[in-house]
Structure 1
Amino acid sequence: MGIIPDSLHYPLVTVIMNQNFSIAEDFLLDDSFLRYCMGTHEQDIQHWEKWIAGNPDKRPAFDRAILLFGIINGQQGRLDVEVKKFRSLLAEHIAKTPVTGKVRNLRWWRAAAAIFLLGAGAATGYHFMGKKARTSATNAAMADVMPGMSKAKLVLGDGTVVQLDSSHTNQLKEKDGTLIDKDNGQLVYDVTRNTSEKIMFNTLSTPRGGEYQLVLPDGSKVWLNAASSLRFPTKFVASDRTVYLTGEAYFEVAPNAQQPFHVELSNGLNITVLGTAFNIMDYDDESTVKTTLVSGKVKVSQETGNSVLLAPAQEAVLNKQQQHIAVNEADIDKTIAWKMGMFEFDDDDLTTIMRQLARWYDVEVKFAGTIPDKHYSGSIRKQSTLSQALRILKTAGIQYTIEGKQITIEIKQ
């Protein structure tokens, strides 16, 4: 969802007059219907709500088309940016299935559904639930939650607090002479005028629903995810470069063999690098700490002296209860998807998915009933509204309500 392709903006509500709309793909070939599925144009929403009310016999194909849109759009990630790509995938689905009527429609729907959601373990034999019609898209939009954005809080060395967002473009100055440029959701530290011998520390913190970028005094780049914090000196003068992280961040460290780079975590883990790209995830509400290496080489060490060396595409996973580090093969695309503006789920349980969404949309999640022992896969754009993000879960029979900043998840068994 999110960004709407130019070809879908105008004209609004231009339905193909000779279209029978007898099967799902008939609806998906209509631009106005796609805008309705995206929920972004009031005219199209009103038109299709009125249309389906007057054509109740079209409801089965109408509902399948809505569901298929969510499945194909979600599975392809940024698919909605390019309508031609959507049309191409639609054509592929049609071409691979029988040509006639109801059989073609049913088989196409099952094929698309199989691509999107995968059940594992106890999910064997799981079937997709039937969907009711969209209630009122207008009412849903009113109860929706907007996605997070570039925003953070910077605490300077003297305790001064500066609120940051992507709209601010100006410069700050630390008392030691360090210049801090604020530009388009990013802080850049310039230490060329820092002549002070005293080391000052700054702390950059993102709230739930926020993220921010940072260029450290040595040129290393940091992407800070939601509900995270990084404490760092305004210049690196010791024999090493040490920063302190809570939450999640992606690092691209400037090489300097004479001054190793360290990331200290609150649980005693220490990550040591010379020059590399890696991701660290260390949230309080997660049962593990993950260090994922994209390139270069890092050492992950515990206070006990136990340590592991990682090669590219490996991750160190610390079980917080057992205090044991396991080295696994990493899914790089999934791990750094948040940095690229996506959520990527691959065989994840529902609570794991909802923890990520809760941090980004700054909401509280409640579960009504027993949480199923099922696992899910799919992609969601971070710029989607909350209801758009949750729509793909509805394809698995997961219903929800949004009341203010609280989501209630109801699982239909």
Structure 2
Amino acid sequence: MDTGQISDLAEKYLDGRATAAEQEALHEWYDRVNEGDTEIVVNAQADTLEGVKARMLRQLQEQIARDKEAAPVSVLPMRRKWLPWAAAAAFIVAVAGTYLLKQPEEQGNTTAVLPLPPAGNKAMLTLGNGTVVDLNASTDGAIAEQSGTTVNKQQALLVYDANNGGAKPAINKLSVPRGGKYRLILPDGTKVWLNAASELQFPTAFPGADRVVELSGEGYFEVAADADQPFIVKTAAGMRVEVLGTHFNVKAYADEATINTALLEGSVKVVAANGKSSLLKPGDLAKVAADHSISITREPDPEQAVAWKEGLFAFRNADIAVILREIGRWYDVEISYEGPVTRRRFTGKASRSYSLAETLSILEASDLHFRQEGKKIIVLP
């Protein structure tokens, strides 16, 4: 195979889109390189490759070697989920100007930074009477009783047990700070995961015709099915998602250009503030812009949108500003830029369990540069 074919297959291999035949071709390529086939050894191609691409291909060899060592079968079935090794590291192959994030060749080459940890389970709960409960300081068990509904804390999970007997529900608010995450089971049994810098407002019971919650930031929902009581997620921009019972993700941060809804299972209707709507099918990604226009695309890997819930950063063809906004929320750091911003785009996956220093080292291995001043990260030219 020539280098272009290797790059194309490598991208599919990392994305989990490679067929069994394509996986086998890459494994055969690796075996031939390992045996010293001078026609395809990366070093022998140095005169036709830019130095950075040669390093990228060497990283591909190393990753395949680890993959093969982890599973002795030469061709692995590629399920539509993150590969185990992808959760531990991400790496690069240059493909048509797009760069895959890679594990650095040496961990010691990163800019010195404070050892900031990744996001942890922390949140504040505001009760209907205005009382604010620090969930980090609360012990497990019943932490509040409101209108007949008991709020139970189970480690990093809130569970609402509704038995209000007709009492008017109280409105609660779960606020997750930058550098935090939390889970919640609503009184109807709907499960919610909240990402960093997110907030969910909801009633302690759903006695009306609809089940309505309000979201800012990002949340993943597994809605309890109820054909007689639609579930509605509202956002600050006036957009809403209407469902009966389904699994979907809503990303509605104020500093993002669009509000994104990714559907994994079931059916949802996305309604813009001006009343325009679109019905989504599993695998659809809807983006609602500031002008209320709705664009629908098919995602080759719908689970990428909820990779954050599984403990991963995951990007496809993303610019560095998008990536760094995500990093800023997760580690609770401010991002600023010194000089022009690179126009390169990036694809890759990396564990969210890394420290900030480890995550920045992955980016630095892709020829990006940073300086840290306390909890501020400056992106250098």
Question: If the TM-score is normalised by the length of the shorter chain, which range does it land in?
Answer: 0.7 to 0.9
1:134 maps to 2:103: no
Distance 1:196-1:167 versus aligned 2 partners, 3 A rule: same
Are 1:217 and 1:235, in contact at CA under 8 Å, matched by a contact in 2? Answer: yes
Larger radius of gyration: 1
One-letter amino acid of the structure 1 residue matched with residue 92 of structure 2? L
Residues 209-240 of structure 1 show CA distances to partners (whole Å, capped at 9, x for unaligned) of 00100000000000011101100000000011
Q: Could you list the runs of 5+ residues in structure 1 that have no partner in the other structure?
A: 1-71, 78-88
TM-score (norm 2): 0.75
Distance 1:133-1:315 versus aligned 2 partners, 3 A rule: closer
| Counterpart for residue 257 of structure 1 | 227
| Counterpart for residue 230 of structure 1 | 200
Are 1:221 and 1:253, in contact at CA under 8 Å, matched by a contact in 2? Answer: yes
| Counterpart for residue 240 of structure 2 | 270
Offset of residue 183 of structure 1: 1.0
The match for 2:125 among 154, 160, 172 is: 154
Q: Distance in 2 between matches of 1:92 and 1:165?
A: 51
Offset of residue 399 of structure 1: 1.6
Offset of residue 303 of structure 1: 3.1
Q: Distance in 1 between matches of 2:184 and 2:273?
A: 28
1:185 maps to 2:159: no
1:171 maps to 2:142: yes
| Counterpart for residue 92 of structure 2 | 117
| Counterpart for residue 350 of structure 2 | 380
Q: Percent identity?
A: 37
Residues 105-149 of structure 1 show CA distances to partners (whole Å, capped at 9, x for unaligned) of 84774414469335577x4899x9x989936x8x947x2211110
| Counterpart for residue 399 of structure 1 | 369
Q: Distance in 2 between matches of 1:114 and 1:334?
A: 21
Residues 319-373 of structure 1 show CA distances to partners (whole Å, capped at 9, x for unaligned) of 12x3210111124121000000000111111101000000000001122221111
Offset of residue 316 of structure 1: 1.2
Q: CA RMSD in A?
A: 3.2
Offset of residue 174 of structure 1: 2.4
Q: Could you list the runs of 5+ residues in structure 2 that have no partner in the other structure?
A: 1-9, 16-25, 45-53, 62-90
SS in 2 for 1:134: helix
Distance 1:264-1:125 versus aligned 2 partners, 3 A rule: closer
User: Which structure is higher in helix share?
Assistant: 1
Offset of residue 318 of structure 1: 0.8
Distance 1:91-1:149 versus aligned 2 partners, 3 A rule: farther
Would you say how many aligned residue pairs link Structure 1 and Structure 2?
318
Q: Distance in 2 between matches of 1:178 and 1:118?
A: 53
State how 1:11-410 maps to structure 2 within 5 Å. Answer: 93=30, 96-97=33-34, 99=36, 106=43, 109-113=55-59, 116-117=91-92, 123=97, 134=108, 140=112, 143-165=114-136, 168-192=139-163, 194-320=164-290, 322-330=291-299, 331-410=301-380
